[in-house]
Structure 1
Amino acid sequence: MSPAPAPPRVVRPYLEELVRRTRAVCGPRLVGVLAVGSLALGDYRHGRSDVDVTVVVDRRLPGRTLSDLAGALAHPALPCPAAGLELVVYPADFTVRPSGEAGYLMDLNTGPSLPERVSYDPAESPAFWYVLDRSLAHQSGLVLFGGPVREVIAAPERPDVLAALRTSVREHADGEGHVADNRVLNGCRSVVYCRTGRWRAKRGAAGEVAASEEAFRPLVEDALRSFERPRETALTLPEARVRDFLAWVAERVDEAVEAAGAEGGPTGSR
């Protein structure tokens, strides 16, 4: 396994301050801080990508620690240089075992381009986002503080990941709240995961799909061009073609689910 890439220079001071504040608030109860998402996969696009961070803590945090942490990290108290910060706090006794549940202690969305949100109840959120994030974290998480990622975060079982992908594709097919190019690129990444059991960066996965699926190549290439632009100036993609593509993606996910069931459900990324 190749080493995770270093964070881009433009976000390094922010990540360093985020870790410093998290250590100051959580103290000895802090187990680990990981960069996930595009940072972990080496595909961060400044002005477009979010900063995705996973924090793992001892469940026995003092009562107000989580709300204090949210206050310390929320934009603009800590100015976010990216489109936004998506930060999830998990208890260590949860992440060390495979799970298909959301399982978080806190989910914080903040930043110049993200609606402000903080949740302390995992029942408030669809589980699939967190299952996919932990699967990617186990494979490619970039350690900012703490021990090796695979000692901290277990890979969710492959059937749970595929079930989460199935829900994710439905979510993106609905389209509400998602930029069209991101819907297409996430679909590409879903297909490549189903084929290989590995997470690829969105642009790398899109290149693979464009090369192998001639019918969808123009749409995928348009999505790639749009992804180079800030969210506010993203290109308009033909909705009917986006939906047709995501319906094709859903079929590929369903095939992977059926294959996993026939094989007895192989687990996790390797």
Structure 2
Amino acid sequence: MDSEPVRLPTEVDGYLSELVRRVQAVCRDRLVSIGAVGSLALGDYRHGRSDIDITVVVDPAVPARLLRDLVDALVHPGFHCPAAGLELVVYDADFAAAGAPGAGYLLNLNTGPLLSAVADIESDSAPAFWYVIDRAIGHQSGWTLAGRPIREVLGAPAHADLLAAVSASVREHTSGTGHLADNRVLNGCRSVYYCRTGRWVSKRAAGRSIALGEKRFRPVVESALASFERPRELALDLPAGEVDAFLSWVRIVIP
């Protein structure tokens, strides 16, 4: 694996190696690149809490059968995922290189013990911001697992498109639906950090930065950081009013 930023726990390292082997076996000469995004790419994977986020780039002419075969090869529990879940997204090489603002995937696969199963090939109605941010993180990190360097095949999204994606992400987490309170707070921290610096960092690194610089919100951010150290099922309940007040501030300070 090229450009590995951190040594992963053995439970995940072996899984990643086998995942790469399976993707290569299915895609063969149509595979362009496999890269890490999310917490892996940002050097902050936490076993029992984090998903494994992977981007796969393939030849634009891949048949639908190949995507079905890829799902069959990777779906949990047939291929046991030791992390909270696997979020794997497949793009064609033309779309990936364009740095476009849409979701644009050929396949969005969510699988694993703590994720609702998804194998979606219809990207038109998907919320685009998740994918725009992940592609930006992949481009910044450049952590390639196989094939061509991921930074070469993932075009960097335009800054204006990233700001729109960050704003949409904050709106999503402000709603609270389906999100742990600690993740809502730390996603807000990461959004503010990006808007201030133009760099993507892990949620924990962003949380520590905001806690130091924003005394008013230090208690709720530090509580979110403490909760984030725990497995998902043991996450702490944070004061709803403090979480809402923090996210209202985030929505004001981001462009």
**TM-score of the superposed pair, with normalisation by structure 1:** 0.91
Question: Match for residue 264 of structure 1?
Answer: none
Question: Unpaired segments of 5 or more residues in structure 2?
Answer: none
The aligned runs of 1:1-270 (5 Å cut-off) are: 4-254=5-255
Superposed CA offset, 1:90-129 (max 9, x none): 0001111121111100000000000001110111311111
- For 1:97 and 1:151, locate their aligned partners in 2 and report how far apart those are by CA, in whole Å: 11
Q: Does structure 2 conserve the Cα–Cα contact (< 8 Å) formed by 1:5 and 1:41? A: no
Superposed CA offset, 1:117-160 (max 9, x none): 11101113111111011111100142100122221101100000
- For 2:142 and 2:222, locate their aligned partners in 1 and report how far apart those are by CA, in whole Å: 28
- For 2:71 and 2:48, locate their aligned partners in 1 and report how far apart those are by CA, in whole Å: 23
Deviation at 1:8?
3.5
Deviation at 1:63?
3.1
Superposed CA offset, 1:6-42 (max 9, x none): 4443311101111111111111000011111111111
Please provide the CA RMSD for this pair: 1.2
- Select between 148-157 and 160-169 the one with higher mean Cα deviation: 148-157
Q: Does structure 2 conserve the Cα–Cα contact (< 8 Å) formed by 1:32 and 1:145? A: yes
SS in 1 for 2:226: helix
The amino acid that maps onto 1:50 is D
Question: Match for residue 266 of structure 1?
Answer: none
Q: Does structure 2 conserve the Cα–Cα contact (< 8 Å) formed by 1:4 and 1:141? A: no
- Select between 2-11 and 52-61 the one with higher mean Cα deviation: 2-11
Deviation at 1:69?
0.3
**TM-score of the superposed pair, with normalisation by structure 2:** 0.96
Deviation at 1:169?
0.3
- For 1:159 and 1:84, locate their aligned partners in 2 and report how far apart those are by CA, in whole Å: 31
- Select between 207-216 and 124-133 the one with higher mean Cα deviation: 124-133
Provide runs of 4+ in structure 1 moved above 4 Å. Answer: none
- For 1:95 and 1:113, locate their aligned partners in 2 and report how far apart those are by CA, in whole Å: 28
Identity %: 59
The amino acid that maps onto 2:216 is A
The amino acid that maps onto 1:116 is A
- For 1:27 and 1:124, locate their aligned partners in 2 and report how far apart those are by CA, in whole Å: 30
Q: Does structure 1 conserve the Cα–Cα contact (< 8 Å) formed by 2:84 and 2:113? A: yes
Q: Does structure 1 conserve the Cα–Cα contact (< 8 Å) formed by 2:142 and 2:149? A: no
- For 2:9 and 2:98, locate their aligned partners in 1 and report how far apart those are by CA, in whole Å: 31
Deviation at 1:220?
0.4
